[in-house]
Structure 1
Amino acid sequence: MAFDAVIEVRSVSKRFGGLLAVNQCSLEVERGSITGLIGPNGAGKSTLFNMVAGNFPPSSGEIIFDGQDITGLKPHELFKLGMLRTFQIAHEFSNMTALENLMMVPGDQPGESLTTLWFQPKKAATREAEVRQKALDVIDFLKLGHVKNELAGNLSGGQKKLLELGRTMMVDAKIVLLDEVAAGVNKTLLNDLAANIERMNKELGYTFFVIEHDMDLIARLCDPVIVMAQGEVIAKGNMDELRANPMIVEAYFGGPVEAHA
């Protein structure tokens, strides 16, 4: 089967004044994969991730998403194309319930228009019922039923991360960018979070691109894993292969392989 890339980064560089943060990077994320991006502090991985996500444009190079050149597009434009990002710190609407948070995600709902509410109330009500049912299905999938009516601001860090993962399920995402999902999450909920990412990938066909410092989580979820150092991609493989590579151990793990087995 031919390699089917949903994201292609082609010779991308990023300069901040005199600092070259990313230098001629090229990588691909295969459709249906959970691809990890790792590297030591200062490697340029967050900068590259932010360019893919549309937070700032590359200084040179191209980024292709699902066959379309998206270089320089903004996050809201990428959202409409099917690229969604979760954040290290969850961005929930704290004074709305978990269920209401999910219902807020789909755009262009008829109920957002006063004209439609006044002149086509049935259309607005029908669409709202559809969105509500979708949100209930997502809550059921993520096993968050016990907190569906809880204000999102009262949820634990791990529950907020699950809720944010659920928000990606409310639209037809072609890829989900996961940004430090393990941050602030206890071990039990992290296991639930990882299991749900695996289920979304295997059962629903979601593609994930993951930046993460938790190597155990990367090893569990990701194949392949892309390694960056000093602004460049230096290797790609599964975690077993990378841990056996002396150059990667030196550049990333900072010591003998045995110390990180």
Structure 2
Amino acid sequence: MDAVIDVRGVSKRFGGLTAVNNCSLSVERGSITGLIGPNGAGKSTLFNMVAGNIVPDSGTIMFDGADVTGLKPHELFRRGMLRTFQIAHEFSNMTALENLMMVPGDQPGESLLNTWFRPGRVAANDAAVRQKALDVIDFLKLAHVKNELAGNLSGGQKKLLELGRTMMVDAHVVLLDEVAAGVNKTLLQDLAANIERMNTELGYTFFVIEHDMDLIGRLCDPVIVMAQGEKIAEGPMEEIRANPEIVEAYFGSPVEAA
């Protein structure tokens, strides 16, 4: 297996509470891997450690063959790992198109000297970034709201915009945090379809933490199950649903929630 994310024996404690206990798991390159479990299972803590928001107490996190344990989110961003959030973090007073154009780092126009002495270089870069943003808008079928203030978009449109941000920098891996939260059923289908297209057509790898079992079942293979800070199962959703111990202990019957 070609693991793009490899979590090795990671633990995290908060005072007397052990949130993650010597947990190991991996995300295969090119996969859409789901992470589920009951409330308090430790999945959010593990997810935040992978994303660089929390530093593990012990263990190692490998990304693309390199040890990235303890790196900050902006450092992981430069390496090609991006994260979306349960609550979208858009620039509400900028248009959808402008939100996308803000994403690429180290743009020439960020330098005052370049704006004075290299205006042609700044203009050429701005044109290229704008064209890429328009291409992303078209891919996600958001052209009808490209000039709308991002703060006025629906919850589902904001989630699509967050996906678009990851496309502006050609991310290797996208961490999706509760992507279905606040999204109506119609837009959720569009969101899922775009995740599938980004995976199959553009080669994106996704690591998904989600409570919507129907969405997990549609998108993810494999699905990793956590409980009490540890990984307890991994496999296709059909196998997870068919495991009576998991169903009874963590989901009830039938499977309803993570």
Give the TM-score normalised by the residue count of structure 2: 0.98
Counterpart of 2:113?
115
Q: Distance in 2 between matches of 1:19 and 1:250?
A: 25
Q: 2:220 aligns with which of 219, 222, 227?
A: 222
Counterpart of 1:189?
187
Count residues in correspondence.
Answer: 257
Q: Distance in 2 between matches of 1:136 and 1:51?
A: 33
Q: Distance in 2 between matches of 1:209 and 1:126?
A: 35
Q: How does 1:201-220 map to 2 (within 5 A)?
A: 201-220=199-218
2:136 partner letter? V
- Unmatched segments (≥5 aa) in structure 2: none
Q: Distance in 1 between matches of 2:197 and 2:170?
A: 16
Tell me the SS of whatever aligns to 1:181.
Answer: coil
Q: Distance in 2 between matches of 1:218 and 1:95?
A: 33
Counterpart of 2:162?
164
- Unmatched segments (≥5 aa) in structure 1: none
Q: Distance in 2 between matches of 1:69 and 1:234?
A: 25
CA contact (8 A) 1:39 1:228 kept: yes
Q: 2:251 aligns with which of 242, 250, 253?
A: 253
TM-superposed deviation, 1:255: 3.1
Question: What is the identity percentage for the equivalent residue pairs of Structure 1 and Structure 2?
Answer: 84
Counterpart of 2:45?
47
Q: Distance in 1 between matches of 2:170 and 2:194?
A: 17
Q: How does 1:1-261 map to 2 (within 5 A)?
A: 3-255=1-253
CA contact (8 A) 1:97 1:152 kept: yes
TM-superposed deviation, 1:209: 0.1
2:42 partner letter? G
Q: Distance in 2 between matches of 1:255 and 1:102?
A: 42
Q: 1:65-93 CA deviation, whole Å, 9 max, x = no partner?
A: 00010000010111011000000000000
TM-superposed deviation, 1:248: 1.1
Tell me the SS of whatever aligns to 2:41.
Answer: coil
Tell me the SS of whatever aligns to 1:250.
Answer: helix
1:118 partner letter? W
Q: 1:15-50 CA deviation, whole Å, 9 max, x = no partner?
A: 001100000100000000000000000000000000
- Residues 153 and 140 of structure 1, relative CA distance in 2, 3 Å threshold: same
Q: Distance in 2 between matches of 1:173 and 1:156?
A: 25
Aligned residues: CA RMSD = 1.1
Q: Distance in 1 between matches of 2:185 and 2:250?
A: 24
1:68 partner letter? A
TM-superposed deviation, 1:251: 2.6
CA contact (8 A) 1:86 1:177 kept: yes
Q: Distance in 2 between matches of 1:198 and 1:172?
A: 16
TM-superposed deviation, 1:253: 1.0
1:136 partner letter? L
Give the TM-score normalised by the residue count of structure 1: 0.97
CA contact (8 A) 1:225 1:236 kept: yes
TM-superposed deviation, 1:256: 5.7
